[in-house]
Structure 1
Protein backbone atom coordinates (compact mmCIF):
# COMPACT_ATOMS: atom_id res chain seq x y z
CA UNK A 1 0.00 0.00 0.00
CA UNK A 2 1.31 3.44 -0.87
CA UNK A 3 1.35 6.43 1.48
CA UNK A 4 -1.36 8.20 -0.53
CA UNK A 5 -5.09 8.21 0.00
CA UNK A 6 -6.88 4.91 0.33
CA UNK A 7 -10.38 4.04 -0.78
CA UNK A 8 -12.74 3.70 2.18
CA UNK A 9 -16.34 2.83 1.43
CA UNK A 10 -19.30 3.80 3.61
CA UNK A 11 -22.09 1.25 3.94
CA UNK A 12 -25.03 2.73 5.81
CA UNK A 13 -28.37 1.20 6.75
CA UNK A 14 -31.27 2.55 8.75
CA UNK A 15 -29.72 2.02 12.19
CA UNK A 16 -26.20 0.69 11.60
CA UNK A 17 -23.34 1.09 9.20
CA UNK A 18 -19.67 0.57 8.61
CA UNK A 19 -16.63 2.04 6.94
CA UNK A 20 -14.74 -0.55 4.91
CA UNK A 21 -11.29 -0.78 3.37
CA UNK A 22 -10.91 -3.69 0.94
CA UNK A 23 -7.80 -5.00 -0.70
CA UNK A 24 -6.86 -8.35 -2.22
CA UNK A 25 -5.25 -9.26 1.13
CA UNK A 26 -8.46 -8.75 3.13
CA UNK A 27 -10.96 -6.32 4.56
CA UNK A 28 -10.75 -3.85 7.46
CA UNK A 29 -13.87 -2.29 8.96
CA UNK A 30 -15.15 0.12 11.56
CA UNK A 31 -18.78 -0.38 12.54
CA UNK A 32 -21.18 2.14 14.04
CA UNK A 33 -24.70 2.47 15.33
CA UNK A 34 -26.86 5.51 14.58
CA UNK A 35 -28.46 7.21 17.58
CA UNK A 36 -31.15 9.56 16.33
CA UNK A 37 -30.33 11.83 13.44
CA UNK A 38 -27.24 13.46 14.89
CA UNK A 39 -25.09 10.85 16.69
CA UNK A 40 -22.99 7.84 15.78
CA UNK A 41 -21.57 5.32 18.21
CA UNK A 42 -18.39 3.72 16.90
CA UNK A 43 -18.61 0.24 18.39
CA UNK A 44 -15.91 -1.82 16.68
CA UNK A 45 -12.78 -1.50 14.58
CA UNK A 46 -11.41 -4.65 13.00
CA UNK A 47 -8.10 -4.58 11.15
CA UNK A 48 -6.60 -7.90 10.01
CA UNK A 49 -2.96 -8.56 10.87
CA UNK A 50 -1.99 -8.15 7.21
CA UNK A 51 -2.85 -4.41 7.48
CA UNK A 52 -1.41 -3.73 10.94
CA UNK A 53 1.11 -0.91 11.13
CA UNK A 54 -0.18 0.71 7.94
CA UNK A 55 -2.53 3.22 9.57
CA UNK A 56 -5.68 1.64 8.16
CA UNK A 57 -7.57 1.78 11.49
CA UNK A 58 -6.68 5.46 11.89
CA UNK A 59 -7.85 6.21 8.36
CA UNK A 60 -11.20 4.55 9.07
CA UNK A 61 -11.71 6.77 12.12
CA UNK A 62 -10.52 9.86 10.22
CA UNK A 63 -13.09 9.21 7.50
CA UNK A 64 -15.87 9.00 10.11
CA UNK A 65 -14.67 12.29 11.65
CA UNK A 66 -14.64 14.00 8.24
CA UNK A 67 -18.12 12.72 7.40
CA UNK A 68 -19.46 13.74 10.83
CA UNK A 69 -18.16 17.28 10.36
CA UNK A 70 -19.82 17.62 6.97
CA UNK A 71 -23.12 16.22 8.27
CA UNK A 72 -23.08 18.09 11.60
CA UNK A 73 -23.02 14.85 13.60
CA UNK A 74 -21.41 13.84 16.88
CA UNK A 75 -19.37 10.65 17.40
CA UNK A 76 -19.37 8.61 20.60
CA UNK A 77 -16.32 6.31 20.40
CA UNK A 78 -17.17 3.22 22.48
CA UNK A 79 -14.64 1.11 20.59
CA UNK A 80 -11.34 1.19 22.55
CA UNK A 81 -9.30 1.80 19.38
CA UNK A 82 -11.49 4.70 18.24
CA UNK A 83 -11.51 6.19 21.77
CA UNK A 84 -7.69 6.04 21.83
CA UNK A 85 -7.55 7.83 18.48
CA UNK A 86 -9.81 10.60 19.78
CA UNK A 87 -7.48 11.04 22.78
CA UNK A 88 -4.51 11.31 20.40
CA UNK A 89 -6.28 13.84 18.15
CA UNK A 90 -7.65 16.74 20.20
CA UNK A 91 -8.41 18.52 16.91
CA UNK A 92 -11.37 16.14 16.59
CA UNK A 93 -13.03 17.55 19.73
CA UNK A 94 -15.66 19.34 17.62
CA UNK A 95 -17.30 15.99 16.77
CA UNK A 96 -16.65 14.18 20.05
CA UNK A 97 -19.77 13.28 21.98
CA UNK A 98 -20.26 12.13 25.53
CA UNK A 99 -20.68 8.66 26.94
CA UNK A 100 -22.79 8.24 30.07
CA UNK A 101 -22.91 11.98 30.69
CA UNK A 102 -19.13 12.25 31.05
CA UNK A 103 -16.85 13.85 28.45
CA UNK A 104 -14.61 11.36 26.66
Structure 2
Protein backbone atom coordinates (compact mmCIF):
# COMPACT_ATOMS: atom_id res chain seq x y z
CA UNK A 1 0.00 0.00 0.00
CA UNK A 2 1.42 3.35 -1.01
CA UNK A 3 1.25 6.22 1.46
CA UNK A 4 1.37 9.49 -0.45
CA UNK A 5 2.37 12.88 0.93
CA UNK A 6 1.48 16.42 -0.03
CA UNK A 7 2.24 19.72 1.68
CA UNK A 8 2.32 23.44 1.24
CA UNK A 9 3.88 26.13 3.41
CA UNK A 10 1.27 25.78 6.18
CA UNK A 11 -0.11 22.24 6.19
CA UNK A 12 0.08 18.80 4.66
CA UNK A 13 -1.27 15.29 4.64
CA UNK A 14 -0.32 11.66 4.31
CA UNK A 15 -2.95 9.74 2.41
CA UNK A 16 -4.01 6.65 0.49
CA UNK A 17 -6.07 6.91 -2.66
CA UNK A 18 -7.22 4.50 -5.31
CA UNK A 19 -8.46 5.63 -8.69
CA UNK A 20 -8.74 9.19 -7.41
CA UNK A 21 -10.81 8.20 -4.35
CA UNK A 22 -9.42 9.20 -0.96
CA UNK A 23 -9.46 6.13 1.28
CA UNK A 24 -7.35 7.30 4.23
CA UNK A 25 -5.79 10.56 5.35
CA UNK A 26 -3.85 12.10 8.21
CA UNK A 27 -3.58 15.88 8.15
CA UNK A 28 -1.13 18.16 9.90
CA UNK A 29 -0.20 21.81 10.24
CA UNK A 30 3.19 23.38 10.76
CA UNK A 31 3.78 25.00 14.14
CA UNK A 32 6.88 27.11 13.82
CA UNK A 33 9.93 25.87 11.97
CA UNK A 34 10.45 22.58 13.79
CA UNK A 35 7.05 21.19 14.78
CA UNK A 36 4.02 19.67 13.12
CA UNK A 37 0.61 19.19 14.70
CA UNK A 38 -1.34 16.12 13.60
CA UNK A 39 -4.95 17.23 13.74
CA UNK A 40 -7.06 14.61 11.98
CA UNK A 41 -7.01 10.99 10.85
CA UNK A 42 -9.57 9.31 8.61
CA UNK A 43 -9.66 5.72 7.37
CA UNK A 44 -12.54 4.55 5.18
CA UNK A 45 -14.53 1.47 6.08
CA UNK A 46 -12.95 -0.29 3.08
CA UNK A 47 -9.51 -0.16 4.77
CA UNK A 48 -10.55 -0.28 8.42
CA UNK A 49 -8.88 -3.00 10.48
CA UNK A 50 -5.87 -3.27 8.15
CA UNK A 51 -3.49 -1.08 10.16
CA UNK A 52 -3.66 1.82 7.71
CA UNK A 53 -3.95 4.41 10.48
CA UNK A 54 -0.74 3.10 11.99
CA UNK A 55 0.95 3.29 8.58
CA UNK A 56 -0.06 6.95 8.33
CA UNK A 57 1.43 7.67 11.75
CA UNK A 58 4.59 5.83 10.79
CA UNK A 59 4.88 7.91 7.61
CA UNK A 60 4.53 11.09 9.67
CA UNK A 61 7.21 9.90 12.09
CA UNK A 62 9.61 9.11 9.21
CA UNK A 63 8.93 12.52 7.72
CA UNK A 64 9.57 14.20 11.09
CA UNK A 65 12.84 12.34 11.58
CA UNK A 66 14.03 13.14 8.06
CA UNK A 67 13.33 16.85 8.61
CA UNK A 68 14.28 17.19 12.31
CA UNK A 69 10.67 17.97 13.30
CA UNK A 70 8.83 17.14 16.49
CA UNK A 71 5.19 16.03 16.40
CA UNK A 72 2.37 17.21 18.63
CA UNK A 73 -0.63 14.93 17.98
CA UNK A 74 -3.97 16.51 18.89
CA UNK A 75 -5.91 13.94 16.87
CA UNK A 76 -7.17 11.34 19.39
CA UNK A 77 -6.16 8.40 17.19
CA UNK A 78 -2.64 9.66 16.56
CA UNK A 79 -2.20 10.62 20.22
CA UNK A 80 -3.18 7.08 21.29
CA UNK A 81 -0.66 5.54 18.86
CA UNK A 82 2.13 7.80 20.09
CA UNK A 83 1.26 6.87 23.66
CA UNK A 84 1.63 3.16 22.88
CA UNK A 85 4.73 3.10 20.65
CA UNK A 86 7.88 3.93 22.60
CA UNK A 87 9.93 3.95 19.38
CA UNK A 88 8.24 7.26 18.46
CA UNK A 89 9.35 9.05 21.65
CA UNK A 90 12.21 10.82 19.87
CA UNK A 91 9.71 12.95 17.87
CA UNK A 92 6.72 12.95 20.26
CA UNK A 93 5.71 16.13 22.10
CA UNK A 94 3.35 15.32 24.95
| TM-score, scaled relative to structure 1 | 0.84
- 1:78 pairs with one of 70, 74, 78: 74
Q: Structure 2: 5+ residue runs without aligned partners?
A: none
Shift of residue 9 of structure 1?
0.9
Structure 2 counterparts to residues 17-56 of structure 1, below 5 A: 17-24=12-19, 26-56=22-52
Q: What is the alpha-carbon distance in structure 2 between the residues aligned to residue 49 and residue 27 of structure 1?
A: 8
Shift of residue 14 of structure 1?
1.1
| TM-score, scaled relative to structure 2 | 0.93
The alignment of Structure 1 onto Structure 2 pairs a total of residues equal to 93
Q: How well do the aligned residues superpose, as a CA RMSD in angstroms?
A: 1.2
Deviation >3 Å, runs of 4+: none
Shift of residue 26 of structure 1?
4.6
Shift of residue 40 of structure 1?
0.3
- 2:9 pairs with one of 14, 36, 41: 14
Q: What is the alpha-carbon distance in structure 1 between the residues aligned to residue 86 and residue 18 of structure 2?
A: 30
Q: What is the alpha-carbon distance in structure 2 between the residues aligned to residue 19 and residue 69 of structure 1?
A: 15
What is the SS of the residue equivalent to 1:57? helix
Q: Structure 1: 5+ residue runs without aligned partners?
A: 1-5, 98-103
